[in-house]
């Protein structure tokens, strides 16, 4: 009889997780040393060509830096915290070498392509605004008309239910007598 070759159920809970580089202490823990390491790697011909190719393909500098830093974290070179700290200088270095080479690039920090969401544009997108509705009203004008959603209701606006309606809502009135056993 042939035995199964699958792992034992729950083996992942007892396995040694130090097999992964990011589970061990990082190789580099100094800020200056980490920046020097990345810049030295970027000066290598293959990395240099790769970065320039990505810039020419309209990748943002932030995307390129994030990719480089994630590789360093995955290889156990530095921690996530240190990667966040060195992201700025690395992005600046890449922008400087792109400027020196005459490449146009996008840092990826601007929001000029983002569509601004306003209450009026949201209503229009959802089809809530009528054609005759005044779209130039401000939120302050809208709030002054009715006081808003959570405003206090005046006494004149309250329509109290009659005594009979209140009694029926509370179950105090008996419309028809039903048999006790539920049979008609």
Cβ-contact 41, 47 below 8 angstroms: yes
CA distance 98 to 72: 22
CA distances from 75 to 87, 109, 124 (A): 17, 27, 49
- Smallest Cα–Cα separation from 19: which of 73, 71, 76? 76
**Mean of per-residue pLDDT scores for the chain:** 79
Which pLDDT value is given to residue 44?
Answer: 93
Which pLDDT value is given to residue 138?
Answer: 56
Which pLDDT value is given to residue 80?
Answer: 92
Position 179 confidence tier, pLDDT thresholds 50, 70, 90:
low
Position 1 confidence tier, pLDDT thresholds 50, 70, 90:
very low
Give 76 or 151, the one with higher predicted confidence.
76
Which pLDDT value is given to residue 129?
Answer: 59
pLDDT by residue (tens digit) across 87-130? 999 999 999 999 998 989 888 877 666 667 778 877 777 777 55
This prediction has a pTM of: 0.53
- Smallest Cα–Cα separation from 64: which of 55, 73, 56? 55
pLDDT by residue (tens digit) across 124-174? 777 775 555 555 555 555 555 555 566 666 667 777 778 888 888 787 866
pLDDT by residue (tens digit) across 2-28? 566 777 777 767 766 667 777 788 899
The CA-based angle 178-183-184, given to 5 degrees, is 70
Give 62 or 179, the one with higher predicted confidence.
62
Residue 51 has pLDDT above 80, yes or no: yes
Which pLDDT value is given to residue 114?
Answer: 67
Residue 39 has pLDDT above 90, yes or no: yes
């Amino acid at each position: 009889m042939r035995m199964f070759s699958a792992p034992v159920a729950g083996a992942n809970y007892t396995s040694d997780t130090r097999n992964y580089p990011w589970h061990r202490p990082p190789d580099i823990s100094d800020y200056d040393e980490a920046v020097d390491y990345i810049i030295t790697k970027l000066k290598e011909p293959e990395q240099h060509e790769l970065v320039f190719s990505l810039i020419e393909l309209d990748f943002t500098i932030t995307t390129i830096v994030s990719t480089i830093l994630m590789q360093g974290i995955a290889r156990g070179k530095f921690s996530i915290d240190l990667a966040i700290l060195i992201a700025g200088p690395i992005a600046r270095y890449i922008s400087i070498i792109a400027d020196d080479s005459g490449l146009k690039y996008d840092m990826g920090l601007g929001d000029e392509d983002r569509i601004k969401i306003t209450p009026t544009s949201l209503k229009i997108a959802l089809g809530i605004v009528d054609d005759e509705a005044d779209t130039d009203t401000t939120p302050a004008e809208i709030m002054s008309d009715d006081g808003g959603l959570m405003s206090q209701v005046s006494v004149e606006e309250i329509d109290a239910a009659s005594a009979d309606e209140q009694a029926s809502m509370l179950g105090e009135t008996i419309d028809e007598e039903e048999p006790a056993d539920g049979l008609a």
